[in-house]
Amino acid sequence: MITEIELDDGFLPDTISEVIKRNVIHSLNEIKTINDKFIINDSSFMRKQSNNRITPCVMNSASFISSKFQHNLSLLPNCLGENSLNQQRIDGLIKVEYNGFAYRIKDKNKILEVAFKYIESKKLPNNVIYTLFPMFYGMYVDRLCFSIPELNDIEHLFDIEKVNYHYKIGIEFETGNVASSFRAINKLNNLFHDGHIDGGCFITSIDKRNSATRIWPVSNRNGSFQELKNRAYISQISLPLICIGFAPDEFSQTAPFLEANGELYELENTYRRD
């Protein structure tokens, strides 16, 4: 599996961030088809629907990838695969203990100032305050376990304390379209705001050309970080988040296809024509 870190916003302490990335990337790399790699057959086939329309046929099951990831993650220490939080299904949960320094704001009325300083430093549009304000309040008022990336000029607004904290990081692995990706990010946002997780990790395909539309038909699966960036997805993030993209190691039109039950399958010529 090819993986890329698409986003690490720096709010999670480095030691926590590295554990999350290591566990998620390991779980992705353990998804294999043949030759100890994740090789996808990108052959294109068509099918006749009941209404006689001819449409692209989905040859590779998305469930193959997501269920393998969930299983691989569940085998790691302090990690869970698919589970439920606050009646919301998520693809995984990572629990990490942290012993180190963290920041808490001295006066919660200064949170707005901190958020606008961050917007200024990152050259973000002002309207992201609607997602940043609840995020900053959750980090620096409700919790005591976060860093302050690139905001040295406002450190005087914070107390720095040595803490022992047990992080809960929610994981969402998205193989659907771009709308599904936004719903997954929003789910993580809500779980953070409600106190069920302390951060998140969102995973989807890197781009269309080398992953999404070569695994699934163009009309069926177009979710990718390429599409999310075109839609300014960062402005929708309202929790400390790490984003990781994936793509197959290789493509081969002789490789087996992915079945929903986690098995591989090959086509058999029936020598019949409809």
Q: Which of 163, 230, 171 is nearest to 19 (CA)?
A: 171
Distance CA 63, CA 60 (A): 9
| Per-residue pLDDT reduced to its tens digit, 188-243 | 999 999 999 999 999 999 998 888 888 887 665 568 999 999 999 999 999 999 99
Q: Calculate the CA dihedral of residues 114, 188, 13, 246 and round it to 10 degrees.
A: -120
Q: How confident is the model at residue 149 (pLDDT cuts 50, 70, 90)?
A: confident
More confident site: 159 or 48: 159
Model confidence at 270: pLDDT above 80: no
pLDDT at site 84: 94
State the SS3 of the chain. CEEEEEEECCCCCHHHHHHHHHHHHHHHHCCCCECCECEECCCCCEEECCCCCEEECCCCCHHHHHHHHHHHHHCCCCEECCEEECCEEECEEEEEEEEEEEEEECCHHHHHHHHHHHHHHHCCCHHHHHHHHHHHHHHHHHCCCECCCCCHHHHHHEEEEEEEEEEEEEEEECCCCHHHHHHHHHHHHHHHHCCCCCEEEEEEECCHHHHHHHHCCCCCCCCCHHHHHHCCHHHHCCCCEEEEEEECCEECCCCCEECCCCCEECCCCCCCCC
Q: How confident is the model at residue 274 (pLDDT cuts 50, 70, 90)?
A: low
| Per-residue pLDDT reduced to its tens digit, 67-108 | 999 999 999 999 999 999 999 999 999 999 999 999 899 999
Q: Which of 102, 132, 157, 144 is nearest to 240 (CA)?
A: 132
174: which 2 tokens?
A: 């998205």
Phi, psi torsion values for 98, nearest 5 degrees: -125, 130
Phi, psi torsion values for 245, nearest 5 degrees: -100, 155
Map out the domains of the chain with their CATH numbers.
2-103+164-260 (3.40.91.20)
